[in-house]
Structure 1
Amino acid sequence: MTAGIVSDQFVSSRTWAGFCAMGLGMFMAILDIQVVTTSLPEIRSALDIPPDQMSWVQTAYLIAEVISIPLTGWLTRMLTMRGLFTIAVAIFTTASVGCAASTGFASLTTWRVLQGFAGGTLIPLVFSAVFLLFPKNVEPVATTIAGVLAVLAPTLGPVVGGWITQTYSWHWLFLINVVPGLAAGLVGLFCLPRDHSNFGLARAFDWIALVSIALCLAALEIGLKEAPHRGWLSPSVFAVFALCVASGGLFISRTSRASEPIVDLSALLDRRLVVGCTLSFLTGIGLYGSVYLMPVFLSFVRGHGALRIGEIMLVTGVAQLVTAPLVIRAERRINAVVLTVIGFILFGLGLGLSAFQPRDADFDEMFWPQVVRGIAIMLCLLPPTRVALGHLPPERVPNASSLFNLMRNLGGAIGLALIDTVIWTRAPEHSRILLARLMRGDLDAARAIGIPETFLSGPLPSPDSPMVQAYVRPLLERAGLAAATNETWAMIASFVLLGPIILILSGLGRETASITKS
C-alpha cells in the first residue's frame, strides 16, 4: 500500500488541503473551456483571426485534453499523484499566461494545446484521489466535492466569461487562472502524500502507442467537429474517421502486448467498470449537450448576451449545490445502483421537459427543467463513480479513473456532433415548412413565428420580396431553430434514458449493496 492511501478512518487536515487544491486545479481547467467559448468573438477581433479558424482556438484545447486523459494513469504511476498534479498545474498556469500574451492565432493555439494537455490530466487525477486518499466512510464526501466542482464549472462559465469580457479585456479570461493555479500548485506540493516516482517506466515507453492514440483521439475530435457541416459521408470526414479507426487498431494491438502499457485496456474486463464507463458516456451526452444547447437557444433565438445567458443558467448550479449534501446522506443509506437509476430517470425527464419549450421561452420556462437536471446530474455523476471505481484495488484506480473520465468527454464530443447535425439540418427544414404554411394564410404559423396577424390581412408578398427577406426571414430562422432545438433536447433525453435500462439489465444492484452499506 502506498503512502497516499488512507487505511484507517482518520483524515488529516493536510490531506484535505491537498485534495481541495487538486479540486481547485480541476475547477479552473474546466472553467477555462467555457469562459473562452463565450468570448471567442472578442478574441477573434482582437487578434485578427479569420472567422473560419476561430473555432480552432477551442478545438485545440479539447483535442489535447482528450489525448492526455487516458495517459493520466501511466503518468501517475511514473510521477506519483503529487508529482503529476504539481507539474500539470504549473504547465496549465504558465500556458494561461502564454495565452494572455499571445499576439496571433499560431501562438494562441500553441499555448491552448499546452493548456489542454495539462488540464486534461487534472480531472481523472481528482477522481483517483477520492479513492486513494480517503477511507470508505469519507469517500462520498470527497466524491461530492469533486463532482460539484466538475459540473459547477461549466454552469458558471458563461457568467464569469461574460462578466470578464464586459468589464475588462479578453486577456483576463486566461489571467484569472494564475493566482488559483499558483495557490493550488504550492498547496498540492506541500500537502499531498509523498510517494516514490518510477522513472523506469519512461525507458520502456511505447512511443508508437502514444502517437497512435493521439492520432486516433485527435482524428475522432476533428471528424466529429467537421461532420455536421461537411456531411458525415463527405470524403474528407470519411478519411479522418478512417485514420481514427486505423490508428486506434494499431494502439490496441500495441497495448495488448505491452508489459507496461500506457493505457491498460485490460481494466475493461471488469464488468462494473464497463457499465460505469457506459454511464459516464451517457452522462457526457446529457451534461455537455444541455450546457451547449441552452446558450445556442438563448443567444440565437432569444438574442441574449453572454452575461444574461450565464445568469439564467445559474439555476442548474444552485440546484447542484443544494442537492450535493442530500446525495452524500443518500449514498450512505441507499444502494448506489438504485440512486443511479433514479438519477438517470430524473436527468432524462429534465432534458425531456425542455423539448416542449416555446419559441419565446426564457428564465421562467427554463427554471424547473434546470432544477430537475441540477438534482439529477449529481446522482448521475457521484453514485456511478462509486459503482465504477469503488471496488478496485488502489493500484488500478488511476488507470480506471482515466478511462471513466475519458468516456464522459467522448460522450460529450459525440453528443455535440449529433446536436449540431440535428440543429443545422432540421432548422432550415422547419423554416421552409413554416414559410409554406404562412404563405397559405395559416394564422397558427404566424403566431408560431411571432409576426402580427395583420401581416395576413392583405395580399401575401412573394417570399423573395425585400419585406419578407428583411422582416419575416429572421423570424422564420429563429422559429426553425427553436423547433430544431426542441427535437435535439428530445434526442439527448432518449440517450440518457438508456442509462436505467443498462443498469437494470446489468444486475449490478446486488453487487454494490455491501459497498453502499459500508
Structure 2
Amino acid sequence: MKDLTLPGQLKGTTLILAAFVLALANFMVVLDMTIANVSVPHITGSLAVSSSQGTWVITSYAVAEAICVPLTGWLAGRFGAVRIFIVSLIGFTTFSILCGLSNSLAMLVICRIGQGIFGGPIMPLSQTLLMRIFPPEKQSQAMGMWAMTTVVGPILGPILGGSISDNWSWHWIFFINIPVGVLCAFGAYKLLRGIETPTAKIKIDAVGLALLVIWIGALQLMLDLGHEYDWFNSGIIIGLAITTVLGFIVFMIWELTDQHPVVNVRIFRYRGFSIATLSLAFAFAAFFGSIVLIPQWLQFNMGYTATWAGYLTATMGFGSLTMSPIVAKMATKYDQRALACFGLIVLGLVTLMRAFWSNQADFMALALPQIIQGFAVPFFFIPLSNLALGAVRQDEMASAAGLMNFVRTMAGAIGASAAVTLWDDFAKSSRSDMVGTLNTQVTQQSLMQHGFSSETALGVISSLVDKEALTLSVNHVFFIFAMIFIFAGLIIWLCPKPKNSVGMGQAH
C-alpha cells in the first residue's frame, strides 16, 4: 500500500475528493452558525417561548463552539487530527438529529450545545488537513477554496433557513445536516486515515478548562436570563455576575502561570495582536448582533416571511464575495490599519442608516444598507486578522489564531444576546412613553366612527403602538451598534504600524 504518512502525497481524484470533503464539512458548520437566525420566530412560535429565549438557540451554539476551539490543538495532538475530525463529524450529525427532534426549548438548547461542542474542532481541523494534503505550491489555492466556503456559508444560511422554515418546518434546518455529515464522515475515514497526524500523551490544562467553562457559562447565562429576571434586582443574576468576574480573574491568573495553558493568554503581550483582536471583538459583536436582530424585526414587525427575511439578509453576500479577493491583494500594498478603519467606519455609517428605518420602508430601502455592508465586511475582517496574526512570532501563530477565533466567537454570542435584550427593553420603554402621550379615548372614538367596535378599536391602537415601539427600539439598538463600529475603527490606529505580512509572523 502506498505510504501516505507525509503531507502532499494524495494525488489526482483522491486529492480532489479529500479536498471536497474537507471544504463541505467546513461549509456545513459555518452554515449552521446563521441558518437558525431567520428561523427564530418559527421556533419561538412552535415552542411557545419569547423571542429573547429563542435567541438562546443561536448563542448556546456559539458559546459551546468558542469553548471547544482552544481545545482543538490538544485533541489533535493527543488523538490525531483525522480521528478527531471524524468523531466531530459523527457527533455534530448526531446532535443535528436530536435538534430536529426537539420538542422543548430546553432540549433544543442542550442539543445545540452538543452541536457546538462537536462543531468547534471541524473548522480549524478542515483547514489544517487541507494544508496537509496539498503540496506547498498549491496550498494557497486550497486556502482560497476553504475561504470561499467560509464566506458562502453565512450567505446561504439565511436563505436556506427561511425557505425550509416556511415550506417545511424549522426542524428540517437541522435534518439537512444528516446526509452531509454522514457523507463527510465516511469520506474522511476512507480518504484521510492514511495521513493521520502523529500523537503523543500531551498534558491538558484541566483546571484552566474548568475555569473557562465556569466563567463563560455564567456570563452567557447572565446575558440570556438577565432580561427575564429583571437584571440586578435578582439574586440569581447577581450570583452569575459575581461568578463571571471571579471566574475570569482566577482563570487569567491560572493561565498566565500554567506551563501548558488551555488558552495562551500571554499572546496579549503583543500590542498589535491585542488592539486588533479587541477591535475585531467589538466589530463582530455589533455585526453578529445585527444579523440576528434584522430577520426577527422583519418578521415580527414588517410582515416578512422567513424566506424573504432570508433573501434580504443575504443581499450582503454579493459584496463580500466580490471584495474578499480584492481586499486580500490590497492588504499586501496598503497600510492595513487604514483598510480596517475604512471598513469599520463604513459599517458604522451603514448601521446608522438603519437607525432611521420606519414601518413604511420598502424592500430596497431595507436592502441597501445590507448591500453596502457586504462590500465593507472584507475591509475589516481580512486586515484585522492579518494585523493580529502578523504581530506574533511564527511559533505562536497557531495559538494566536485559536485565541482570536475564541474571542471573535464569544463576542458574537454576547452581541446576539445584547441585541435582543436591548431591543426588548427599549421596546417596553418606548411603548410606555407612547401610551403616556397618546390620547387613547379620542383615537378610539375616531375609529368607532369608522365602524370599529370598542374592543376592536382598542386592539388596533395597541397593535399600532406595539409596532411603532418595536421599530423605535430597533433604531436605538442600531444607533448603539453604529457607535461601536466607529469606536472599533478608531482604536485600530493604536496598533503599531505593521512591517511584515502574516506569513512573516515576527513580533513587532
Alignment of 1:353-372 (within 5 A): 353-372=353-372
Alignment of 1:297-308 (within 5 A): 297-308=297-308
- Partner Cα separation in structure 2 for residue 390 and residue 13 of structure 1: 35
1:205 lines up with 2:200 in the alignment: no
**Are 2:487 and 1:498 aligned?**
yes
Q: 1:336 to 1:426 in 2, by over 3 A?
A: same
- In structure 1, the gaps of 5 or more residues are none
Secondary structure at the counterpart of residue 497 of structure 1: helix
Which whole-Å CA distance do the structure 1 matches of 2:229 and 2:403 have between them?
30
Kept after mapping to 2: 8 A contact 1:220/1:241: yes
Cα deviations by residue, 1:416-455 (Å, 9 ceiling, x for unpaired): 333234322222332343445542999xxx9xxxx9xx94
Q: What are the residue-to-residue correspondences of 1:65-464 with 2, within 5 Å?
A: 65-101=65-101, 108-125=108-125, 145-188=145-188, 190=191, 194=195, 196-201=197-202, 204-234=203-233, 235-390=235-390, 392=392, 395-439=395-439, 455=446
Residues 1:472 and 2:471 are matched in the alignment: no
Structure 1 residue 57 displacement after superposition = 4.8
Instruction: Give the distance between the partners of 1:137 and 1:383, measured in 2 at CA.
Output: 24
Greater CA drift, 266-275 or 367-376: 266-275
State the Cα deviation string for residues 64-103 of structure 1 (Å, max 9, x = none).
2232123223334334544433332222123223434556
Contact 1:216 1:248 in 2 (8 A): yes
Name the CA shift for 1:367/1:206 in 2 (closer, same or farther; >3 Å): closer
Structure 2: how far apart are the matches of 1:342 and 1:193?
46
The CA distance in 2 between the partners of 1:498 and 1:441, in whole Å, is 46
Give the letter for the 2:251 counterpart: F
Alignment of 1:485 onto 2:484: no
Moved more, 222-231 or 432-441: 432-441
> Equivalents in 1 of 2:158, 2:230: separation in Å?
30
TM-aligned CA distance change 1:40 to 1:348, over 3 Å: closer
Q: Cα–Cα, structure 1 residues 139 and 509, in superposed 2: closer, same or farther, change >3 Å?
A: farther
Correspondence for 1:30: 30
Q: Which amino acid aligns with 2:468?
A: A
Taking the aligned partners of 1:350 and 1:129, their CA distance within structure 2 comes to 38
Aligned length: 495
Using a 3 Å threshold, how does the CA distance of structure 1 residues 245 and 228 change in structure 2: closer, same or farther? same
Q: Residue by residue, what CA displacement relative to the aligned partner does 1:210-260 show, whole Å, maximum 9, x if unpaired? A: 221111111111111122333332322121121122222333333333222
Q: Could you tell me whether the CA contact under 8 Å between 1:73 and 1:400 is conserved in 2?
A: no
Tell me the secondary structure at the aligned position of residue 276 of structure 1: helix
Paired residue secondary structure (1:228):
coil
Tell me if the contact between 1:441 and 1:456 (Cα under 8 Å) persists in the aligned partners. Answer: no
Percent of matched pairs sharing the same residue: 24
Separation in 2, partners of 1:457, 1:100: 47
Distance 1:395 1:372 in 2: 38
Distance in 2 (alpha carbons) for counterparts of 1:58 and 1:514: 34
Residues 377/193 of structure 1: CA separation in 2 closer, same or farther (3 Å cut): farther
Structure 2 counterpart of 1:232, which letter?
A: W
| CA distance 1:301–1:111, change in 2 (3 Å) | closer
The residue type paired with residue 246 of structure 1 is: L
Q: Classify the secondary structure of the residue corresponding to 2:195.
A: coil
Distance 1:134 1:381, change over 3 A: farther
Question: Under a length normalisation based on structure 1, what TM-score does the superposition of the two structures give?
Answer: 0.82
Look up the match of 1:62: 62
1:22-64 deviation per Cα after TM superposition (whole angstroms, max 9, x unaligned)? 4432332232243345445656777x67779766555543342
Call closer, same or farther: CA 1:226–1:85 in 2, change over 3 Å. same
How far apart are residue 127 of structure 1 and its match? 6.2
Going from structure 1 to structure 2, the CA distance change for 1:248 and 1:331 (only over 3 Å counts) comes to same
Unaligned 5+ runs, structure 2:
none
Structure 1 residues 263, 129: closer, same or farther in 2, change over 3 A?
farther
User: Retained in 2: the 8 A contact 1:5–1:133?
Assistant: yes
The answer to whether the 8 A contact 1:19-1:188 is kept is: no
Instruction: String of CA shifts for 1:361-392, please: whole Å, max 9, x gaps.
Output: 23110222111111111222222222222465
Contact residue 255 and residue 262 of structure 1 kept, 8 A? yes
Tell me the TM-score normalized by structure 2.
Answer: 0.83
How far the C-alpha of 1:512 sits from its partner, in A, is 5.0
Separation in 1, partners of 2:129, 2:393: 13
Contact 2:37 2:292 (8 Å CA) reproduced: no
Q: Is the 8 A contact 2:448 2:457 kept in 1?
A: no
Asked whether the equivalents of residues 91 and 118 of structure 2 are also in contact (C-alpha less than 8 Å), the reply is: yes
Structure 1 residue 273: deviation in Å? 2.2
Structure 2 CA distance for partners of 1:430 and 1:167, relative to 1, 3 Å = closer
Q: In the aligned structure 2, how far is the partner of 1:485 from the partner of 1:5?
A: 51
Q: CA deviation at 1:336?
A: 2.9
Q: CA deviation at 1:315?
A: 0.8
Q: Shift of the alpha carbon at 1:297?
A: 2.0
